[in-house]
Amino acid sequence: MNGVVTAVSRSAGHTFSKTVCDGVRLLAGLGVEGDAHLGKTVRHRSRVARDPSAPNLRQVHLIHAELHDELALAGFAVSAGQMGENLTTRGVDLLGLSAGTLLHVGGDAVVRVTGLRNPCVQLDGFLPGLMKAVLGRDEHGGLIRKAGVMGVVVTGGEVRPGDAVRVEPPQGPHVPLDRV
C-alpha cells in the first residue's frame, strides 16, 4: 500500500487548525520543526497537565484526504490542516494500519505510527456536528475514530506535497490501532 502527501501543515501556536505550507522538516525524535507539538515529551496541553514528563507519542498528526472527501459528502467543508493535521495523505488506509507501522515519506523521513487521534469537542467548536461526523461504529458496535493517526519521527527529513508515502508494516501479527 503506497500513497502520496497531498498537503503539509504546521502551527507555532496551540491553535486548532494549522497553516498549509510548501514543506515541513521532520526532526527525529521531536516532530515537525516550527510546530507547537514539537518535543520529546508531551506537548498537547491536556496531556502536559496530566504528566509533563510523558513521552510525546503524538509528534506528527496524519489525516487521510479521503476523510475530507467523506466529510464533504456529509456537508462539511474541511480542507487540509483545518483539523490540526501536519500531513495529509491520499491512498493509504491510515486507520487500518498496524501499530508500529513505518511510513517512509519523501526521500528520507520515516514516521512510526503510534495510534489513533482521539477526536475532541474542539471539532464541534470548529464546525458544529464535526465530532460526530468523525466517529462511527463497526459491525459489532465498536467505536471507530476516523480523525487520523499519530506518530513519532524515526528519521528526519523534508516533506512536501507530492512526496510518496511507502508503508512498511511491522513484523509479527497485526495490532489494531488504539487511541494515543
Reported as a single tens digit per residue, the pLDDT across 132-143 is 999 999 999 999
pTM: 0.96
Indicate which CATH number applies to the domain containing 99.
2.40.33.20
Residue 46 has what pLDDT?
83
Residue 3 has what pLDDT?
98
Q: Are 92 and 1 in contact (CB under 8 A)?
A: yes
What does the block give as the cell for 169? Answer: 508494516
User: Is residue 143 assigned to a domain?
Assistant: yes
Residue 28 has what pLDDT?
98
If you compute the radius of gyration of the chain from its CA atoms, what whole number of angstroms results? 15
Residue 1 has what pLDDT?
67
Reported as a single tens digit per residue, the pLDDT across 142-173 is 999 999 999 999 999 999 999 999 999 999 99
Domain tally, the chain:
1
Q: Name the residue range of residue 53's domain.
A: 2-168
User: Is residue 175 assigned to a domain?
Assistant: no
Query: What is the helix (H) or strand (E) element at residue 50, kind and residue range?
Result: helix 45-50
Rounded CA-CA distance 62/58 in Å is 10
User: Is residue 134 assigned to a domain?
Assistant: yes
Mean pLDDT in each 10-residue stretch from start to end of the chain (180 residues)? 94 95 98 97 87 95 98 97 98 98 97 95 94 95 96 98 98 95
User: Is residue 102 assigned to a domain?
Assistant: yes
User: Is residue 113 assigned to a domain?
Assistant: yes
Residue 99 has what pLDDT?
98
User: Is residue 176 assigned to a domain?
Assistant: no
